Amino acid sequence: MEGCRWTTAGTLLLASLVLSSRTARSEEDRDSLWDAWGSWSECSRTCGGGASYSLRRCLSSKTCEGRNIRYRTCSNVDCPPEAGDFRAQQCSAHNDVKYQGQFYEWLPVSNDLENPCSLKCQAKGTALVVELAPKVLDGTRCYTESLDMCISGLCQIVGCDHQLGSAVKEDNCGVCNGDGTTCRLVRGQYKSQLSANKLDDMVVAIPYGSRQIRLMLKGPDHLYLETKTLQGVKSENSLSSTGSFLVENSSISFQKLPDKEILRIPGPLTADFTIKIRYAGAADSSVQFIFYQPIVHRWRETDFFPCSASCGGGYQLTSAECFDLRSSRVVADQYCHYYPENIKPKPKLQECNLDPCPASDGYKQIMPYDLYHPLPRWESTPWTACSSSCGGGIQSRSVSCVEEDMQGHISPVEEWKCMYTPKMPVVQPCNIFDCPKWLAQEWSPCTVTCGQGLRYRVVLCIDHRGMHTGGCTPKTKPHIKEECIVPTPCYKPKEKLPVEAKLPWYKQAQELEEGAMVSEEPSFIPEAWSTCSVTCGVGSQVRLVKCQVLLSFSQSVADLPIDECEGPKPVSQRACYSGPCNGEATEYTPEESELLYGSLQEFDELYDWEYEGFTECSESCGGGVQEAVVTCLNKQTRETVDETLCVTSRRPPQLLKACSLDPCPPRWEIGKWSTCSLTCGVGLQTRDVFCSHLLSRETNETIVLADELCYTPKPSLVQACNRFDCPPSWYPTEWQECSQTCGSGVQKRDMLCKQHLVDGSLLELPETFCSTPRPVTQQVCKNEDCPSEWLLSDWTQCSVSCGEGTQSRNAICRKMLKTGHFVINSSLCPPLPFSSLTRPCALDTCTRHNRPVHKQSPHIMAIKKVYIQTRKQKKLHFVVGGYAYLLPKTSVNLRCPTRRFRKSMITWEKDDKRLISSAHITITPYGLIKINRLKPSDTGTYTCTAGPVQEHFVIKLIGSNKIIARQPASIREEETMRKPSLNEALRTEEKHVNRILFNGSKAEKRGHLVDPSRWYDYIVSRLIQYRGWPGENLASWEAQESTERNASSEEDQSREYSLPFTMITEQKRLDDIISNLSQQPEELKDVYTEQLVVQLAQEVFKSHLEHQESVIRASRKGLDTTSMEHPVHRHVSGFTSSLRTSSAEAFLPTSVDPVNGLRRPHRKPAILRKISAAQQLSASEVVTHLGQTVVLASGTLSVLLHCEAVGNPKPTISWAKNGEEVEYNERMLLQPDDSLQILEPVEADVGFYACNASNALGSDSVSIAVTLAGKPLIKASRATVINTESPAVTVDIGSTVKTIQRVNVTISCQVAGVPEAEVTWFKNKVKLSFAHHLHDGLLLIPNVSLSDQGLYSCKAANLRGEVTESSQLLVLEPPRPLPYLKDLTAVLSSAGTSAHSVLTSSSGTNMTISPGSSALIDGW
């Protein structure tokens, strides 16, 4: 057992050693005890195809089956021309080795059939051939024209795929394992027509890429070459001597013999070769040539075209384009048609964009597309009735492309969707056979031999098949008998009437006329006559006559009793004559003779016509006709004789019968060749060939079948035509790409003078050869307008030279039109993120050179903030580094905190002038200055200097009308100028800012402003004039001056106001706003300014509230935890998301709510105006606040309109739409929080919705617009306003205004819509200029007179549409006193003092009466 264990352990140890040597063995290797194959050796050659080997070793002491070496090819790339032959290199390696005591220059001996892998070399200049090595190096070609290579001294087969053992060969086109379809064999013969006057001529042009070229010239002339590379380089080779040489990198073998020249080029050619012949003798020469020409123009299937629909299921097709393999570009289709081998691929069709479309009208959802519905198909209506029953007519039908949806409904679609199959014909001929017509046979002989008689003829109605039928017009039937006169005098008494013919013509004419056929009506049907009862002489014939009827339901014939048929019954017996008996004439009575023959002349006739069989059928299938053969017979011998022996007039009529009634098999229907595609240079003709099946030859009805059902080879569809050289003409190149992808651009192309030769090649000629004018080489591109785009300038330099700073750049929205003009309008581009216009930048850390590291420079701890004082305070404390906009008479303490600098060394300057302490301004030794009660002269820039560093602080005053003072000397003048209008007050400031924003220098536009304080003034002015602040009206700031003059700063701060005493914001925040404004165009400046100021106000007030909340929470830490927390800002907290309000009282938290036991003051209602945009909670729900515009999008299922109102008593909320109270229903809901919800909105819900809040103290109302798809909406009224007293009247557009003269009329046009609509005013349809008082949608008509009467229209338009509303303005004339009442005193005085006076007059009439008189006044 121990020995066994040892043996097992030893075996395992040996196995582990074996496994550790090689770990990459395969299962086959392990089974056969072979080790794994080793790595491949280096390639024996670096180019031209070499060999590499891999080894393995046998792990068994016995012999392993198989080989221990394997080979593979490598370096299968062509060697450069200068590398030389590999076998030649091996021979030349022995040049330095003596052979039999001498040095030789060895040349290779190739193609040794006995031992191709031995190195045999020949000494140059001698016949000495020596085997210098038993085997060549691995990778050497066995033969010069073969890929087979020598490996280990043996010739191994190598395929064109460069794999050992592969039998794959190149086809004649040079394609490995190809099928020979990429080239075509060209062979031909040229016979020279040279002479002393014509010294050279072109034999053949062989294009680039051709292979296996062989030409042989017989005769005295000589060959020479002309070449032209793809780059246009031309050269010539005279081929003067025998040899092998390179021409344009193509190997050429040329043999020049006494009576012939042979040229061989294996190819492929690397240039276009033109073989020419040069005159050398009087005898004619001929050239035979053969080569394989590549088909350089091939059909290439295109990608699928864009989908026909962007969603909901569409179709896309492919096409085929002719591709030039040489130039790698698309060319005209005719180039591919030149090669019959090219078959144009059929277009493919596939479905695309199957995702369902989003709802397009806002109220419907498109059903999902069925992925399995059938493809579109051609569908036709039935053929119309033929326009003619015979003689050729037309019948038509309509063919349309239809599509079937998943419910089975069929609807028409665009025809291109069905183009993957051929369209069915819409018109076809019908009844093209000739109409039946009367056919009259020749006249019979006259019935008498002298005098007056009758003659007869047979008249048949013959159809297009030659059959005797009906259908001819009886009125046009020719007559069958007429009188005739024989000029021979008669010796018998003249007959009064012409003699009627007896036999045979009259009877034959009658019988042929009868032509009985079985019908659905009972009729007599005679059968054929029997043979004559005698063989000679006069006998009789009989036939059977039946009464028959055709049973239509079974298509069978039934016999009926004779009495069922009406009309005369045909005869069933007749006499017959079989010729004379035994050569003797038989005597008959005159009556028998007259009855049988009609005349003695007919009796003696020996020859007569008879029917003898039928001709072959005219058609092999589908119904044809056979014609009875009529022969002239000897009545006695029954032999056929010459037709001249029979009387022509007695020849029986033509008889036809139908035959070959079986349907025809499918056959090819071939159309006519089209006109030649080219007038010269070998064009192409095409024709339609389709497989058809003839159903009926009578109706010519055929059906089209698949090509596979026609078993014979399909006839050719294409043939060459116009095979002669074209005259030189201009050939344009393809238009280059447009210089612009959109907008205005140009395309260019080259024009080359070329001649299209009969061999299909193009010969380039000088431009003078083309006689026609040169076509245009440049044209304007047919582009569309370019999409709007932001054009961004380069980033400015970093705002600091070291440390962290910012960079900015400008942006302009530009749109290029296809006319080449530009439109610059920021509203055309999507909003640009602020982050794309500014970015941070970081430079190296700031250091001070030439100073010891331990000595740091002084530092002023500045605070970069902007302070805006809103209420009077006695004293304010600031730190340098910012801006302060303060109210007059406020005391200021300004500190300059420093590090690493003595405060007593700090110096102060104002406007670059050193400050000295005075009674008004005090400078303390602790880096502090005190300014007592600010006055206009104190405005300016205060500079704190601490050694090498400085910081500034700017102080500006806010005037009584909230205008920032600039020059102390002109404060009163400015205030005087600004009193009339707030807009005029800001006009100067805005002009300067606009000049910087849009016309400033590059430095100013990049943020390097000459006077940045002007920018701050502009923003602060807009902020303090903002009307949306909560709390008391800001216009009452100055009214507090007298009440607050004696109050301390602490007392002021103890009071609660809606606004902070001093608004504070970061200076960087104003820099960001200014930078943003500098990028905006002029037309959007006011909009962006308003938005940014509102956002700034929101941030300032929110920061103030958060600060005040923190102070209150800190002060209440000692209160009882059970007491209710006082919600100081429950009502004003809403201001963080909405600032607009119509009543400042709504935000005055002057008392606490009743929960804390405090009484609240009475306030009139105020509705909170929200500035936030509508919130899209989901794809179908929109929530918004008042003051916004709601756009009903597709799929909107709910719109919630919030209305928040404050007041004491609590206001009552009601809703109105377009001035009428909203009627609530299951879709229009009033929510518990007084919000209005519209479910499943429809177009009828579009309008202006007003939220009305009212209590005992007053009311407030705010509107919100709801529009569809962004189309503009105008708030209109249909009221009639009559004004006879007020000096001013304001109405909404749509109203009718009747007013007296000298009144200011304002018409309001409130517009909503997304994008924002542009408002235009018209009077009597004439546009009003901006000289009128137009602003904010208001039209002011001052001092109205009669000339102002008319129709005033407001048009609102944006990209989604436009809408117009109008108001009629009528001016009332003042009342005129009646003429006879002008002097009332005179009228009354004339009546006496005691008389009563009665006066009727208009209102406003003055009347004077005497004391004691009475008057009755009737006013009207």
The pLDDT-based confidence of 951 (bands split at 50, 70, 90) is very high
Orientation angle between helical segments 1067-1078 and 982-999, nearest 10 degrees: 70
Q: How confident is the model at residue 909 (pLDDT cuts 50, 70, 90)?
A: very high
Q: Is the pLDDT of residue 593 over 60?
A: no
Evaluate if residue 1243 carries a pLDDT over 70. yes
- Does 665 score more than 50 pLDDT? yes
109 vs 192, more confident: 109
The pLDDT of 266-280, averaged and rounded, is 87
User: CB neighbours of 597 closer than 8 A, spacing ≥ 6?
Assistant: 502, 503, 577, 603
- Strands (E) located in 717-874: 718-721, 729-732, 746-748, 751-756, 762-764, 778-780, 789-792, 804-808, 811-816, 822-824, 838-842, 859-860, 865-869
Residue 245 has pLDDT above 50, yes or no: yes
Average pLDDT (1057-1080) is 75
Long-range contacts of 1409-1412 (CB under 8 A, 24+ apart): 1409/1384, 1409/1385
> Residue 931: is its pLDDT beyond 90?
yes
- Model confidence at 1354, pLDDT cuts 50, 70, 90, reads very high
At 43-54, the pLDDT tens digits run: 888 888 888 889
Residue 656 has pLDDT above 60, yes or no: yes
Q: Tokens representing 595?
A: 């009855």
pLDDT at 1190: 79
**What is the structure's pLDDT at 164?**
85
What per-residue confidence (pLDDT) applies to 988?
45
Instruction: Find the mean pLDDT for residues 226-236.
Output: 86
Q: In the prediction, which pLDDT does 66 show?
A: 83
Burial 456-493 (b: 16+ CB within 10 A, else e): bbbbbbbbbbbebeeebeeeeeeebbeebeeeeeeeee
Query: Which range has highest mean pLDDT (105-119, 698-712, 734-748, 1074-1088)?
Result: 105-119
pLDDT band at 886 (very low <50, low <70, confident <90, very high): very high
Per-residue pLDDT of 381-406, as tens digits, reads: 999 988 888 888 888 899 999 888 76
- Residue 1025: pLDDT band (50, 70, 90) is confident
In contact, 990 and 836? CB cutoff 8 Å: no
7 band by pLDDT with thresholds 50, 70 and 90? very low
Q: Is the pLDDT of residue 1324 over 50?
A: yes
- Percent of the chain at pLDDT above 70? 75
Q: Which two structure tokens, joined as six digits, stand for 364?
A: 């419907």
pLDDT classification of 1007: cutoffs 50, 70, 90: very low
> Each residue of 453-482: pLDDT tens digit?
888 777 888 887 777 777 788 778 888 788
68 with 55: CB under 8 angstroms?
A: yes
Point out the least confidently predicted range of 660-674, 767-781, 1081-1095, 1317-1331: 1081-1095
Comparing 1263 with 939, the larger pLDDT belongs to 939
Segment 660-666 shows an average pLDDT of 81
Greater confidence (1267 vs 496) lies with: 1267
C-alpha 515/C-alpha 526 separation (Å) is 10
DSSP annotation of 102 = B
The one-letter amino acid code at 288 reads Q
Question: Which amino acid, one-letter code, is at 581?
Answer: C
Query: Is 328 buried (19+), middle (13-18) or exposed (0-12) by CB count in 10 A?
Result: exposed
Alpha-carbon span 882 to 895, nearest angstrom: 12
% of the chain residues with pLDDT over 90: 8
Higher pLDDT, 1145 or 1379: 1379
Confidence of residue 118 (pLDDT cuts 50, 70, 90): very high
Q: What is the maximum alpha-carbon separation in the chain?
A: 184
Which range, of 628-637, 1005-1014, 1028-1037, 1232-1241, averages the lowest pLDDT? 1028-1037
pLDDT value of position 821: 76
pLDDT at 195 over 50: yes
Predicted pLDDT at 5: 35
Q: What is the pLDDT of residue 1060?
A: 66
The CA angle 686-691-693, to the nearest 5 degrees, is 140
Given a cut of 60, whether residue 1365 has pLDDT beyond it is yes
In the three-class reduction of DSSP (H, G, I as helix; E, B as strand; rest coil), residue 260 is classed as strand
Give mean pLDDT, residues 692-706.
Answer: 79
pLDDT at 1035 over 70: no
Taking 3-state DSSP, the helix, strand and coil percentages for the chain, each rounded to the nearest 5, stand at: 15, 35, 50
Smallest CA-to-CA distance from 562 within 515, 519, 518, 522 is with 522
Per-residue model confidence as pLDDT tens digits over 53-101: 898 888 877 778 888 888 888 988 888 877 788 899 899 999 888 888 8
Angle at 1053 between CA 1052 and CA 1054, to 5 degrees: 90
Q: How confident is the model at residue 356 (pLDDT cuts 50, 70, 90)?
A: confident
Which carries the bigger pLDDT value, residue 541 or residue 591? Answer: 541
For residue 1299, name the pLDDT band (cuts at 50, 70, 90). Answer: very high
**Position 1232 confidence tier, pLDDT thresholds 50, 70, 90:** confident
Reported as a single tens digit per residue, the pLDDT across 536-550 is: 877 788 888 888 877
pLDDT in tens, 505-520: 444 444 444 446 777 7
Q: Which helix (H) or strand (E) segment is 131 a member of?
A: strand 129-133
The listed range with the strongest mean pLDDT (59-73, 551-565, 715-729, 886-900) is 886-900
pLDDT at residue 1406 is higher than 80: no
Average pLDDT over the chain, rounded to an integer: 75
Express each pLDDT in 832-878 by its tens digit: 765 677 788 877 777 655 444 455 788 899 999 999 988 888 889 99
> Quick one: tokens of 713?
């080879």
Is residue 1336 scored above 50 in pLDDT? Answer: yes
Specify the DSSP element, H or E, that contains 21. helix 2-21
pLDDT of residue 600: 35
**pLDDT mean over 1350-1360:** 89
Q: Is the dihedral of CA 702, 705, 708, 709 positive or negative?
A: negative
C-alpha distance across the termini of the chain, in Å = 148
pLDDT tier at 890, thresholds 50, 70, 90 = very high
pLDDT of residue 555: 66
At 1072, list the tokens: 């960001």
Mean pLDDT of 769-796: 85
